[in-house]
Amino acid sequence: MKALARRTLFYLGLLVLWQLLASAKVWDEVLFPGPLKVWEALRAGFADGSYPIALAVSGKRLAIGFGVSLVGGVALGLLLGRVRLLDETLGSLVSGLQVLPSICWLPSAILWFGISEAAILFVVIMGALLAVAVAVDGGVKSVPPVYLRQARTMGVSGPRLWLEVILPASLPALLTGAKLGWSFAWRSLMAGELLSISMGLGSLLQTGRDLNDMSQVFAVMLLIAGAALAVDRLVFGPLERRVRRVWGLTV
């Protein structure tokens, strides 16, 4: 409760500071709108339906892109973690490509897929899948060997070993990977939407810039941060707490 009060106070203070800065007119009001202006832009965006539509369009891309990245990344991570040959060959390539900012894929994506939905999805997947794979790979490699040994003496092997021992044993790492993948997917999506024609949140930012409408830029930024944070808190937070409780990782 105290934490909540402190947090509320912090954000109130931030708002006041923002308003003061805007009122002091250090910068032109067009370039630095106050919180009320931004609030107004948010309200108008929701009222005319453009924000909900943008949220839905971006949300759908994220759902597909992140979904594919999660499934593919977990599978790739499990393989890299357990198959020596793949680790020695594909492993270095994956960690190499993972360092590449996902926006670097956009030129190739546009040439291959045109300015299309597929191009944006490609960028999202390239940004998130490898991050998930690298995290899961690390998790699989740190599964205590005693679990594997124990499973072997109980006659567990093949798909059962993967599904019922290795996968659950790397669950904490998998969750970290999913969180990482989620934030990478967001970044890649915004980059992709900013640079190509689309209807998502990224293009709203772009429109704000084109119209010199800073309140819209701020409003959409708030919307993006809010949406990402909401999923983090509402989906990953409870999942993580559950794993920590069951495994006894809480301090």
Partner 1 sequence: MTSVSVDPAAGPIPCPTAPKLELRRVSRHFATPRGPVPALKELSFTVAPSELVCVLGPSGCGKSTLLNLLAGLDRPDEGCVLEDGAAITGASRDRMVMQQEPALFPWLTARGNVEFALKATGLSKAERRERAEEYLHLVGLGSFGRAHPHELSGGMKQRCALARALALDPSVLLLDEPFAALDALTSDRLHEALERIWQQTGKTIVFVTHNVREAVRLGDRVLTLSARPARLLQEVRVELPRPREQEDPALAALAAQVKRSLSAEIGRHLAEELYEGAG
Q: Interface residues with partner 1 (CB under 8 A)? A: 144, 146-147, 149-150, 152-156, 160, 164-165, 168-169, 171, 246-248
Nearest to partner 1 of 49, 155 (CB atom): 155
- The CB-of-137 to partner 1 minimum distance in angstroms stands at 20
Nearest distance in Å: CB 84, partner 1: 18
Rank residues 135 and 174 by Cβ distance to partner 1 and give the closer one: 174
Torsional sign, CA 75, 80, 86, 92: positive
Q: How far is the CB of 243 from partner 1 (least distance, A)?
A: 8
Residues contacting residue 190 through CB under 8 Å, at least 6 positions apart: 201, 202, 205, 224
CB of residue 167 vs partner 1: minimum separation in angstroms? 10
Kindly calculate the radius of gyration of the chain based on its CA atoms and give it in whole angstroms. 22
| Residue nearer to partner 1 on the CB measure, 5 or 246 | 246
Q: Which is nearer to partner 1, 160 or 209 (CB)?
A: 160
CA–CA distance, 219 with 206 (Å, rounded to integer): 12
For the residues of the chain, what is the DSSP string, one character each?
Answer: -HHHHHHHHHHHHHHHHHHHHHHTTSS-TTTS--HHHHHHHHHHHHHTTHHHHHHHHHHHHHHHHHHHHHHHHHHHHHHHHH-HHHHHHHHHHHHHHHHS-GGGGHHHHHHHH-SSHHHHHHHHHHHHHHHHHHHHHHHHHTS-HHHHHHHHHTT--THHHIIIIIHHHTHHHHHHHHHHHHHHHHHHHHHHHHHS--SSHHHHHHHHHHTT-HHHHHHHHHHHHHHHHHHIIIIIHHHHHHHHHHHT---
Rounded least distance, CB 156 to partner 1, Å: 6
Question: Which one, 106 or 140, has the nearer CB to partner 1?
Answer: 140
Q: Which residue's CB is nearer to partner 1, number 80 or number 165?
A: 165
CB of 176 to partner 1, least distance (A): 16
**Nearer to partner 1 (CB atom), residue 29 or residue 164:** 164
Find the shortest distance in angstroms from Cβ 8 to partner 1: 35
